[in-house]
Amino acid sequence: MVKLKEKTKAIKLRKNGLSYSEILKKIPVAKSTLSLWLRSVGLSKIQKQRLTKKKLVAALRGSESRKKQRLLITKEIRDKARNDIKKLSERELWLIGIVFYWAEGSKQKEHNVSQIVEFSNSDPRAIKIFIKWLLNICKLPKQDIQFRIYLHKNNKERLDDVQKYWSKITQFSIKNFQKITWKKHKINTNRKNIGKKYFGVLTIKVKKSTNLNRKIEGWIQGIDKNCRVV
């Protein structure tokens, strides 16, 4: 008799458009039993739409929860890793700048033996560190440092904002960012660095720096040699 009353109640709830999980909260039976009771119960179009909407809301809620958890874990890992780095010595900064240039700088080639120092990057942190390296380690005067912005053509109306952005990052006057190289924009692109957060690529150039480039290459060779990489 009890089971019959529960079955009747379950069917009524289902006809009112409740989901299986909602019904199970009110009638604590095995899910297989509930499925057997309700297999012949049809739902109206509106009821089906309601259940579909609830599933989507639940999925989004679960996705948001996982996102928050992921962000929390990411923050914890980064905070711990950041504390692994203590105050850098002058020698450590010197080595960091060399490796930066090794990765992102213009090297001398056999066909171009007069290559000046040029370093390109879109990451403002890398730009700041490399400028500090030039000024504090290489002891260059500020007037020897020049800049060129590489920007996609569809951002011409944002040029003022881009120049102000790089001026703030580098702490150099905006008049130092007048040289622009326009890159052809592809309408169908997979690039993610688009929109208002896109500021192109900045190239740092050092005037009359062919010998400095050669010196950097020697430092790179020294790191290569002393790392004893086979």
Q: What is the pLDDT of residues 15-66, one digit of tens each?
A: 777 788 888 888 888 888 888 888 777 766 677 777 778 778 778 888 888 8
Predicted pLDDT of residue 211: 96
Token pair in block for residue 74: 């990411």
What is the structure's pLDDT at 114? 86
What is the predicted pLDDT for the residue at 94? 97
Kindly tell me if the per-residue pLDDT of 67 is higher than 70.
Answer: yes
Give residue 191's pLDDT.
54
The mean per-residue pLDDT over the stretch 140-155 comes to 95
Q: Per-residue pLDDT tens for 100-130?
A: 999 999 998 877 778 999 999 999 999 999 9
Is residue 150 within 8 A of residue 159, CB to CB? The reply is no
Strand partners, 121: 202
**pLDDT at residue 192 above 70?**
no
Of residues 113 and 143, which shows the higher confidence score?
A: 143
Q: If you average pLDDT over every residue of the chain, what do you get?
A: 88
| Percent of the chain's residues with pLDDT above 70 | 93
pLDDT of residue 160: 94
DSSP alpha helix (H) spans, 85-158: 90-104, 124-132
User: What per-residue string of b and e applies to 41-76 under the rule 16 or more CB within 10 Å gives b?
Assistant: eeeeeebeeebeeeeeeeeeeeeeeeeeeeeeeeee
Query: Is 107 strand, coil or helix?
Result: coil
Domain ranges in the chain? Answer: 2-63, 90-226
Instruction: Detail the DSSP E strand segments found in the chain.
Output: 118-121, 145-152, 180-183, 201-206
Task: Please state which of the ranges 2-6, 7-11, 22-26, 103-107 shows the lowest mean pLDDT.
Answer: 2-6
